[in-house]
A and B are shown apart, each in its own frame.
Chain A
């Protein structure tokens, strides 16, 4: 049996000096190239779990392992976020002063190296998302679906192995939701990336090959 790409052991996260427990001893293993959906009601802890898996935050107790290395100790969180994972957020989080093609390059500025091809790579990623005609638009000139496609292109900027999507269709209509999910799944298949999607939509969660449910900070199924 191959070792998991991501693993969490007895993961706990609390806020407000322990008064709010978002995660209460979560254990989870995720293999490389797997597609996993995490669902649960609001406040269940699913987004917190995704943030810990993505190195955006540190656990109160327990550990997150990436390829058997403890996150935050054996591998730095900044480097992990820059090289290993790509994020897609519900609110897109594009930078308003930058054009689409520039937004995609923001993660590339986080890593050193030859920057001469940044523009070309960003254009190629946006073309892959079907946005070749929107390269030079600012976020406020794009539709919600287009913004999310720019965000997906941005998440692939540094060619990570893991794609983390937090409610990626939460701000979209049904047509755009279906298109975005189709894209994410297409990327997962084409690139062999691990895809972890947090959603409260059962249709999306049930379509994933693996689906876990979280309630009150614990995995219930």
Chain B
């Protein structure tokens, strides 16, 4: 299972069933292994993945997922719309559809993109099986083994196995509160240029980034689009969360700034309607779109016509903005709940982002805490998060974590953050005992002070010289200049 967007599996029943039908012997394994493509070597199992697999236990409060809350969708609505699809379009809904997607669905997509200020024609669109397929098709279309992809650091953990499968060489650019450091990107492009290497595309989630929760500032958006045009580079703008804004004014997507010249746009119905539909889309320059289309023919011919009919019906009979509005309300409250809980339970040494939208908060702990190990400890308290390493391809992110606030109710969020805070505080205290430094005063008197704290000790070097306000906002490293 991917550690990211996939919900828990069928549980122990499913596992025992799988247990029953294994016929592999050591010799078999060698025989199959000889047949595997070279690219599968990049798809390895790891201790972290084994750890993530046990986060699916029902007693675990999982802040590790990336799941939208689908319980808000009224069941009677789903039933009514499904009946209409069955009554009005039965034969068509059960049939194959065009690879590029149904025209009526494309009109829905045009509406959704217009909501964020993008002007797109139906001919510029390719309907896909979730946004994830766009990442796969773009790699399939552009990446030969060893080709460079530039991504953010941290990047969307779900893109990591895709990049790996196409044997891309991924270069990650640092971020700060204002998103990708475009100045560092430019330096990196210069360096690659000197090495005679041209990146095939720049992958970015500019708005409410997964996992960092930060948003690319307007000036950086303009600069990125300009860079792409000057250097004739493609940008893959992954924008699943743009409409899930909880405060502030919307920013123009890169696609709107560039007019579809160098930006390939990835959109999805997963976060504004339902991830179970598995419907997303790409908007891309025509020659690229044609190749993506060919790639999709080979992958799955067309995305579910049944799902497409459902979306068409939904857009025709309901105002899709209503559901979006209620989701925004719900997630805004949950974000605030999580931010309050973080302020209450996380130690002063921790920092985290304050996202204006989306589904994720990225927390950074003192560098002596390894969040993969911490996850093992947290699982004993029945709580889970995504260790930061999952968002890097180079081992960075060891002391960071991604927290999701959309998939768990308020009580679960408070309890989950409290439990994580408890184990972090435990490790902070232990470390200061070991190094004979005092941990920063806890934000709340809640954490009982251990005896060792009473003895006067020099100020910890790990303590950032920042007040509580800074600690609440400072996410990643701040901009240099």
Is the A/B pair a real complex?
Answer: no
Listed in ascending order, the chain B residues whose CB lies under 8 Å from chain A are none
Listed in ascending order, the chain A residues whose CB lies under 8 Å from chain B are none
